[in-house]
Structure 1
């Protein structure tokens, strides 16, 4: 699945507000879809880059030989789900913001895993 198709598919998830594929080494988005005045995906992507870097650094400091599967940030009205890409994509992650009132978190995590595994960059 190419990047454009993956972003479009992610936006079909119930409650999807915006999605991005981001390089956490540079902080740059490779692609975004959705967002708007209340969700600037470029700013969110850059901010979540710091979250991913901090977690990766913490695992290394603790000498934990494992990988981050996903990171969930729960807000009052939104879920922010970060999923580092696993299959030879280096320092990329998928980020999606979801409306808590409309999203099914378990289903979103399941579908984001599938999208991430099929994404070819």
Structure 2
């Protein structure tokens, strides 16, 4: 298994995880996906969340904010969607996209685990 496969597998071990993708937000293409929910299209979700990141970056530029995005949380009725921009790969425009079942997830622990996974990811 390569580093991406291992990172996705480890992310799926996070309590409540139902899907994960490693995404290039410059193109919207996934570099890998893994999920247990076959009715949820991670490819479509990854492409859509690419637009969320691009919009936030444009807004930050318009405001003159000289900062970086650590993560973006989207809270739905039954799910958390956690988008973590990879700080170690910022120039490459990569993010981890994690879908969590809200009833089973510990959001603080999920954020902590994604940071740890990122630190071990070698692309």
When normalised by structure 1's length, the TM-score is 0.96
Partner SS, residue 97 of structure 2: strand
**1:49 aligned to 2:29?**
no
TM-score if structure 2 supplies the norm length? 0.94
C-alpha offsets along residues 14-47 of structure 1, whole Å, 9 cap, x if unaligned? 0000000000010000000005333110000000
In structure 2, runs of 5+ residues without a counterpart are none
Structure 1: gaps of 5 or more residues: none
Q: Any idea what SS the aligned residue of 1:87 has?
A: helix
How many pairs are equivalent? 121
Q: Which residue of 2 aligns with 1:102?
A: 104
Q: Deviations over 1:87-119 (max 9, x none)?
A: 135200000000000000000000011111211
Which structure's residues are more often helix, by fraction? 2
Q: What root-mean-square deviation, in Å, do the aligned CA atoms of Structure 1 and Structure 2 show?
A: 1.2
Deviation at 1:80, TM superposition (A): 0.2
Answer with 21-30 or 34-43: which moved more. Answer: 34-43
